[in-house]
């Protein structure tokens, strides 16, 4: 059991690394301040916090990836909200992202190139041809289908709250359905994917690369 937990932890580090909460704090700051003061004050506080996080990471010589992402996101979102004079518009970039993910997952399934496989290829650098094997691809198709359902549900909830103009609910929805659910989804996707690959009885990435013939050991780790 301990070995499995360590394995999952190591796999998650391939996808989620750095100070991820740096990208989550500015939106929460925006919602908190906007509920008590004005849109302008909320925008200033969100941008200042994002900039402060970038400075802290830079001084400590820590990864800037999420801090810079949070700053760019805060500037874009605050600009949209401020110039439209609508606090709910702060979350428009998040809604656009959800829309893109829905279409990306759907189109990838229609084209027979599941998004989960493409994501894995970009993360791990495995041979792309391995993912398209008939004894491998079904695992990635099924995981992508689950992702699509989740993306659709999140998008529908975001649209509902956006139409209501509920800034606080939008903040918590984007936060809770962001990193926490993403990490849980990655863990479940990994566990299911490894199990499914084993049941499909296809070759491992290395066996495929070496052109080995059956019987195969199969993929025992990594998805």
pLDDT in tens, 17-52: 545 667 778 887 887 887 777 888 888 998 998 899
Distance of alpha carbon 141 from alpha carbon 58, whole angstroms: 40
Distance of alpha carbon 91 from alpha carbon 79, whole angstroms: 11
Mean local confidence (pLDDT), 147-174: 90
Proportion of the chain in helix, strand, coil states, percent, rounded to 5:
80, 0, 20
Task: Say yes or no to pLDDT of 159 above 80.
Answer: yes
Is the C-alpha dihedral spanning 31, 33, 39, 43 positive or negative? Answer: negative
Contact 198, 218 (CB under 8 A): yes
| Cα R_g (the chain), whole angstroms | 20
pTM of the full predicted structure? 0.75
What the block records as the tokens of 48 is 């200042």
pLDDT in tens, 11-25: 656 555 545 667 778
Distance of alpha carbon 223 from alpha carbon 55, whole angstroms: 36
Contact 142, 185 (CB under 8 A): no
Which of 1, 23, 3, 12 minimizes the C-alpha distance to 184? 12
Specify the higher pLDDT residue, 39 or 157: 157
pLDDT in tens, 45-80: 989 988 998 898 888 887 777 788 888 888 888 888
Structure-token match 């979350």, residue found: 91
């Amino acid at each position: 059991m301990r070995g499995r937990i360590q394995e999952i932890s190591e796999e998650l580090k391939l996808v989620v690394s750095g100070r991820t909460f740096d990208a989550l704090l500015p939106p929460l700051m925006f919602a908190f301040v906007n509920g008590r003061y004005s849109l302008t004050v909320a925008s200033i506080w969100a941008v200042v916090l994002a900039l402060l996080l970038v400075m802290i990471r830079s001084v400590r010589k820590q990864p800037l990836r999420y801090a810079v992402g949070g700053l760019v996101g805060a500037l874009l979102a605050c600009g949209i909200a401020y110039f439209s004079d609508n606090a709910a518009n702060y979350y428009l970039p998040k809604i656009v992202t959800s829309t893109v993910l829905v279409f990306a997952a759907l189109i990838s399934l229609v084209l027979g190139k599941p998004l989960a496989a493409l994501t894995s290829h970009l993360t791990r650098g495995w041979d792309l041809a391995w993912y398209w094997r008939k004894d491998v691809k079904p695992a990635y198709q099924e995981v992508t289908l689950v992702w699509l359902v989740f993306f659709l549900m999140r998008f529908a909830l975001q649209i509902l709250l956006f139409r209501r103009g509920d800034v606080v609910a939008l903040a918590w929805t984007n936060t809770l359905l962001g990193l926490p659910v993403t990490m849980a989804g990655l863990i479940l996707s990994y566990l299911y994917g490894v199990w499914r690959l084993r049941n499909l009885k296809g070759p491992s990435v290395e066996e495929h690369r070496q052109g080995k013939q059956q019987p195969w050991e199969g993929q025992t780790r990594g998805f």
